A and B are shown apart, each in its own frame.
Chain A
Amino acid sequence: MKQIDFDPVFSTAVRNELDARVTAPTSPIPYWRRHLRLGAGIFAGASILIGGAAAATVFLTMPGAQDVTELGASVVETATGTAAVQLGAVPDGATGVFVSLTCLTPGTFTFDDGASIGCNMDDVGQTIGGGSYTLNLLPEQQSITITTAPESSWTLAATYVSGRTTEWAINANGETYGALNESGEPDLIAVIATNGNEGFVHAGELAHANGSEQAATFISPKQALAWQDSMAGTTVSIPVYQNDGETRIGDFTIQY
């Protein structure tokens, strides 16, 4: 009897695509919703989510964030449903694309790298998340695809940029502060508080609240699952400070 095999050509192509998607440099995931929802993948997902949460806040001026130079004019395009925005030829020295998305209807809008933005009625017409976000450029990438429901409308502005990561700053107590970046985390990590204030959380308090501290002690997925079950539905708040790490200006909330 002849066995049905997976088409080897198609399989190789899918495998290459998976490799490319996984290996692509992780872009910061925008912290649009002011709340962080951690799923079951706390082992792996937490640091990525938090990283994006913090890095995406006010990165133009934040120590440790990218210092970004725009290369050329913006492309602005409005569409309904899933569509690709063509960016044109990649200028020399471009390392990413600076994008800002405005939702024209409620819905969820997903970038090529899986980062997504959720818009409710209140967000419509506003450039959400307090700003924008830089997508790392894949080789030969000349378009950005926004995936969304057929009825959801959006406007995307995109500009090629070159970026370099700035140094963290140091406060009077000798603590580093700024955005999470590829070098790791500063003592005080930039976030947006639930009241909209931009400030910093202590790295240790964040690690405790988001489970990464606990995750480091788990020796089996069962332990991780048990811990997640115990946290399900709960909300953990930690204080947000000014860059002195002492003056409290709000709270940062993590929902499980």
Chain B
Amino acid sequence: MGTGVVNEVEVWTRACANDGRAFTWLFDTHRDRVFRHVLRLVDNAHDAEEVTSASFLELWRRRASVVLVSDSVLPWLLVTAGHIARNVSRGTRRYRALFDSLPRADATADAEQIAVAHIEEGESVGYLKAAMKMLKPSDVSLVVLVVLEDYAVTEAATLLGLSDGAARTRLHRAKGKIRQQLTEVRT
């Protein structure tokens, strides 16, 4: 894809014109960010891989309605992955046959990774996961984009179809709920 600064809008436009290399560049570039995000929401690496993959397949399937934020498809991917992660079996159903047919590395390695994930995760992440599950889907997206991924509230609001003010209010309430949840479980 050459060197120097890559203009993602241009890459996206080429991907939409059936340029497979452009689309796989997006996959290579954003896969890990989406995967890390999904790991915070689901229980094991296997699910996180499928949710991540499904969000890229959805990016292609729903390309006509994808909204770029800050000239990037990443926020759209994060929000979509968040929705899919809320109900993994439903969200990945469309791609079930595909995923089942694709090869995987050694399955025991996967089990080991899952075990490691649980140790690594520790209590605090577990509490955060539980707290996030209490929020409405759109509020989870807001928290993810603004608090965890450092997007501006205005940018997140654009993507989620909210007014600036509404996004700020909801974010404030969502943070309050998470704080309350975390306080409750610790006391």
**A interface residues, Cβ below 8 angstroms from B:** 1-2, 4-11, 13-15, 17-26, 38-41, 43-45, 48-49, 114, 147, 220-221, 225
Contacts and interface: CB of A to CB of B under 8 A. Distances in A.
A1 B120 contact: yes
| The 6 A-B residue pairs with the shortest CB-CB distance in the complex, in nearest-first order | A44-B16, A39-B65, A45-B64, A23-B20, A13-B102, A19-B20
A38 B64 CA distance: 7
A44 B12 contact: yes
Contacts of B120: 1-2, 4
A182 to B, nearest CB: 11
B63 A45 contact: yes
A34 to B, nearest CB: 18
Contacts of B68: 221
Interface stretch (B45-53, B128-136, B168-176, B177-185): B45-53
A38 B116 CA distance: 46
A220 B23 CA distance: 20
5 contacts: A5-B113, A8-B105, A14-B56, A19-B23, A26-B18
Given A7-B104, A9-B103, A10-B105, A22 B67 contact: no
B23 A22 contact: yes
A41 B64 contact: yes
A22 B103 CA distance: 20
A22 B53 CA distance: 14
B117 A45 contact: no
Contacts of B113: 4-5
A4 B116 contact: yes
B149 interface: no
A168 to B, nearest CB: 22
Nearest to A12: B103
Contacts of A14: 27, 53, 56-57, 102
Nearest to B16: A44
Contacts of A39: 62, 64-65
Contacts of A5: 113
Nearest to A218: B9
B5 interface: no
B105 A43 contact: no
A39 B62 CA distance: 9
Nearest to A42: B64
Given A7-B110, A44-B12, A24 B18 contact: yes
A48 B64 CA distance: 9
B148 interface: no
Nearest to B53: A14
Nearest to B26: A18
B27 A18 contact: yes
A210 to B, nearest CB: 12
Contacts of A48: 16, 64
Contacts of B17: 44
A15 B94 CA distance: 17
A114 B16 CA distance: 13
B54 to A, nearest CB: 9
B13 interface: yes
A80 B180 CA distance: 47
Contacts of B61: 114
Contacts of A114: 60-61
B18 A10 contact: no
B52 A9 contact: no
B87 interface: no
Contacts of B110: 7
B67 A225 contact: yes
A6 B102 contact: no
A108 B153 CA distance: 35
B98 interface: yes
A6 B49 contact: yes
B25 to A, nearest CB: 10
A68 B137 CA distance: 48
B63 A41 contact: yes
B27 A15 contact: yes
